[in-house]
């Protein structure tokens, strides 16, 4: 389900068909669904949609850097911590990824462990692997 507020897309969550059928539609949410479908079809590599990200300043800073990770590439939690000038913040970066309200649009799935391992993802490790594989195969 895609949610919006008066500033932009503010949430993405999984829902059942019944729940999603009661979802309200607007031009903005319809555009978000269209762009997500293009992404999942391997046709879209960059999202161009207005977001409304609600979180702490630290979370917003992390999310901003996640959006800079190119399609098909990954960065480690520690690399993101270094980018935000806080080399000891790897765990906090992980928690910011966990609180990402707009998964896929802000690509927290592109953040991996320092040793290359796939670690936590709201939709599960298998989905994280599938998204990364899809991106690598469609570069």
- Whether the pLDDT of residue 2 is over 80: the answer is yes
Token pair in block for residue 79: 């690399």
What average pLDDT does this structure show over 12-38? Answer: 81
Beta bridge partners of 21: none
- Which position has the token pair 């992404």? 39
57-137 fold? Arc Repressor Mutant, subunit A (1.10.10)
How is 30-52 classified by DSSP, letter by letter?
HHHHHHHHHHHTT--SS----B-
Q: Which pLDDT belongs to residue 26? A: 93
Q: How far is 123 from 100, CA to CA, in rounded Å?
A: 12
Ramachandran assignment for 125, one of left (phi > 0), alpha (psi -120 to 50 degrees), beta (any other): alpha
Query: From the CB of residue 53, how many other CB atoms can be counted at a distance below 10 Å?
Result: 19
Three-state secondary-structure class, residue 68: coil
- Whether the pLDDT of residue 23 is over 70: the answer is no
Q: Which pLDDT belongs to residue 18? A: 62
What average pLDDT does this structure show over 96-122? Answer: 95
Beta bridge partners of 11: 3
Q: Is-catalytic flag, 97?
A: no
Please give the mean pLDDT across all residues of the chain: 93
Q: Which pLDDT belongs to residue 45? A: 97
Segments making up each domain of the chain, as ranges: 2-40, 57-137
List the end-to-end C-alpha distance of the chain, in Å, as a whole number. Answer: 27
Give the global pTM: 0.91
**Which of the residues 15, 20, 67, 108 is marked catalytic?**
108
- Whether the pLDDT of residue 14 is over 90: the answer is no
Query: What are 42-53's pLDDT values in tens digits?
Result: 999 999 999 999
Query: What are 65-89's pLDDT values in tens digits?
Result: 999 999 999 999 999 999 999 999 9
């Amino acid at each position: 389900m895609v949610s919006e507020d008066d500033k932009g897309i503010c949430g993405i969550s999984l829902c059942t068909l019944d729940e999603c059928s009661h979802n309200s539609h607007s031009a903005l949410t319809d555009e978000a669904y269209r762009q997500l479908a293009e992404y999942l079809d391997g046709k879209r590599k960059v999202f161009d949609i207005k977001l409304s990200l609600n979180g702490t300043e630290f979370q917003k800073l992390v999310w901003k850097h996640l959006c800079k990770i190119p399609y098909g590439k990954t960065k480690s939690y520690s690399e993101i911590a270094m980018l935000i000038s806080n080399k000891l913040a790897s765990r906090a970066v992980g928690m910011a990824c966990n609180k990402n309200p707009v998964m896929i649009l802000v690509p927290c799935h592109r953040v991996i462990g320092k040793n290359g391992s796939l670690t936590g993802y709201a939709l599960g490790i298998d989905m994280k692997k599938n998204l990364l594989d899809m991106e690598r195969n469609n570069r």
